[in-house]
Structure formats: structure tokens, C-alpha cells
Amino acid sequence: MLKRLRKVVHLLPRFLKFNDSSKRRIGPAPNGKASTSDTGDSIVCIQSSNIIRQTNYPTASGGLGDVYKCTWNCDASSQEVAVKSPRFPNLSDHQATVKINKNLDREIRIWAVLEHEYVLRLYGTVKDFGPFRALVSPWMPNGTLNFYLNHAPEIFTMVGRLHLLRQIAEGLKYLHDNNVIHGDLTSNNVLVAADGSPRLSDFGISNIMVQSNPAFSYHTGAVRWVAPELLNAPEDQPIQCATKSSDIYAFGGIMLEVLYGKQPYWWLKTAIHVVSARFKDIEPIDSSVNIQLNHLDFMRRCWSIKSEIRPSMEEVLIYLQEALSNETSPI
């Protein structure tokens, strides 16, 4: 047990997710055009002179990058956008940087062609925000899902919470249907638009370090949500890349937070205590919250140690539709 704990202690900074949710506000954007496109593919390259930072410092920071609230000036119009500058901690190997850039380009190309109402849109990329191309997307005024749930809980009935959860599931199913793995699904990587609908963000990029350099072959997702097969790899093997099944495990944590306002392992305040609980196979819940039995059973399916037992996104949506029908049908 101690040996296993020591193995992950030095990885904890990668698992820790600092998100200043009180500042990370993102919202709808008016129509606008990119000024240039010099890549010869589907990625729109925006001139850095047209992106104006509203602050000199990031509005929010997380394990995978820094987010800046900016104004995008295009022709006679302007709009608020989020510019995310990818950040890969302790990266010093030039070859790894080159490979990461290549893999990042691939992920950006995938994102650029995705279109779904519950998936965050990519407007394009911009330079001069760091060593990698920064990602430009709409700025969402309601911030992260975690922020939204904590600051507007009175507006949610169980029906409203199930409806929001179904929207998140529809976005995740769309990604899976297009063979896109989210890889870092937490309530800080689901943003909320002005109308209260969700937008999945930060998908795909979490696997880049694992694919780019064995020296960085560990999962960067928050330990409260990450599937056990990614957290506890065999001693002689690197941690594997995220999968659709590991996304389902993380969705169980989203389900817990949306329906009952609690993050997985909410009673544990530090990542090292969460890791210890994970190695002891302690559930992400305790008896202090009264969870409906049907919801509890389904969440436990999502959290199964055996990945093949976890439901598919099709099953998730069927379950949520049945739960909504049960809540709205007359007794």
C-alpha cells in the first residue's frame, strides 16, 4: 500500500485542478469571421493582433492550460472569447515538444469539424500565447458546471437536474459516436452557456502527453473522477490512454454532482486522501447523502472496477429518459 502511494505522490500536481470558478466566466458570442487561414486545412488561424487580452494574467488555470478572457476584433464587430493556452508541466525535451505539437494539431483538426449544441465550439487557433497554438472558443457567462451548480442551486428541481444531465450525456454520446474520447470529464470541464445548457470542453487533449512521451505517461484527470484502470496501472507499465469506458466512469461522478450536489469523495479534502481511498476501493459516496436507489445502482454501474460492466452512452441516455419520465408522470 505504501509503495503504491509513493508511486503517485509525485504525480499529484498533475491530478490537482486549480480552477478559479468565480472568475472563469464564459458566454455566447456574436457572429464573426477569422482574419486569416494559413494552415491549408480545416483549422482557422486567427491573427494575434485581432485577439486582445482583457487581463495580463490568466482568468483561470488548470492542469492542461491557462484560460484568458479576450476580445476578438474582426472587421467591424467584436466578441468576447476564451483563449486557452495548452500547458504541459515540466516539459523540457525538444523532441517531446515537437511530437506534442503534432498530436495537438491532430486533436485540433478533430475538434474543428465537431458540431453539436452541447459541445464547445472551436473558432480557431492563435499564436503568441505560449509554445503551443492557443485555442479560441466562445466565452460562457455561467462558468463551469461546478460554479453553476453551487451558485444557482435554487433553480433546480430533480426534473431540471435530470434534463441538464441528459444534455451532458447527449454531448458525450456525440463525441463517442465520432470516436472522440473526452479523457478528462469533470465538472470543471463542462461549461454552461447563458441559457443554462452545457458545453463539453477540454476533450481529447488529455491523452496527448501519454501519446507523445513515455516520460509523461500518466493521466492528468482529476483523481476524483479518473477511472481506476488509469490511476492504478501495473508497476512495469505506463498508465493507458483514456477510453470511452473511462469516460463513463467519470460520467458517474458528473451524475452524482448534478443530481445531488456532491463531487466524488466530497468528504475528503486533499488529493492524497482521495488516492488512498481509491487504492482501498472505497466508493465515491458515503451514507451522509440520501441517494435514490435507482440512481445509486446506475452510478455504481458507471463506477464498476470492471470496465466491461459499465454502461454505454446509449444505455445512459435510455436510463436518464426513463428517470425523467418517472419524475414527470402522475402518481
Q: Is 15 helix (H, G, I), strand (E, B) or coil?
A: helix
- How buried is residue 200: exposed, middle or buried, by Cβ count under 10 Å (0-12/13-18/19+)? buried
What pLDDT score does 240 carry? 74
Q: Is the pLDDT of residue 216 over 70?
A: no
Whether 65 is covered by a domain: the verdict is yes
Q: Report the number of distinct structural domains present in the chain.
A: 2
Query: For 28-47, how does the pLDDT look when each residue is reduced to its tens digit (9 = 90+)?
Result: 333 334 433 444 456 788 88
Q: Spell out a b/e string for 230-251, using b for 16 or more CB atoms within 10 Å of the CB, else e.
A: bbbbeeeeebebbbbbbbbbbb
One domain, residues 97 and 133: yes
Question: Model pTM?
Answer: 0.81
One domain, residues 182 and 67: no
Query: For 51-94, how does the pLDDT look when each residue is reduced to its tens digit (9 = 90+)?
Result: 999 988 888 876 567 899 999 998 788 999 999 887 765 555 66
CATH number of the domain that 240 lies in?
1.10.510.10
Dihedral sign computed on CA atoms, order 123, 26, 163, 246:
positive
Q: Which of 120, 138, 156 is the last residue of a domain?
A: 138
Please state which of the ranges 165-174, 188-197, 216-225, 294-303 shows the lowest mean pLDDT: 216-225
One domain, residues 58 and 102: yes
What pLDDT score does 27 carry? 33
What pLDDT score does 97 carry? 66
Whether 48 is covered by a domain: the verdict is yes
Give residue 312's pLDDT band: very low, low, confident or very high (50, 70, 90). very high
Check: CB of residue 237 under 8 Å from CB of residue 197.
Answer: no
What pLDDT score does 328 carry? 84
Q: Is 73 helix (H, G, I), strand (E, B) or coil?
A: strand
* Chain mean pLDDT for the chain: 80
Please state which of the ranges 82-86, 256-260, 299-303 shows the lowest mean pLDDT: 82-86
How large is the average pLDDT for residues 271-275? 89
What pLDDT score does 92 carry? 59
CATH number of the domain that 73 lies in?
3.30.200.20
Query: For 163-175, how does the pLDDT look when each residue is reduced to its tens digit (9 = 90+)?
Result: 999 999 999 999 9
One domain, residues 53 and 177: no
Check: CB of residue 133 under 8 Å from CB of residue 126.
Answer: yes
What pLDDT score does 64 carry? 66
Please state which of the ranges 5-14, 91-100, 148-157 shows the lowest mean pLDDT: 5-14
What pLDDT score does 59 carry? 87
Q: Is the pLDDT of residue 156 over 50?
A: yes
Q: Is the pLDDT of residue 142 over 80?
A: yes
One domain, residues 111 and 153: no
The residues with which 191 forms a beta bridge, in sequence order, are: 144, 199
Q: Is the pLDDT of residue 25 over 60?
A: no
Give residue 289's pLDDT band: very low, low, confident or very high (50, 70, 90). very high
Q: Which of 85, 111, 138 is the last residue of a domain?
A: 138
Whether 187 is covered by a domain: the verdict is yes
Residue with cell 488509469: 230
What pLDDT score does 52 carry? 92
What pLDDT score does 260 carry? 95
One domain, residues 244 and 187: yes
Domain extent for 268? 145-328
Q: Is the pLDDT of residue 212 over 70?
A: no
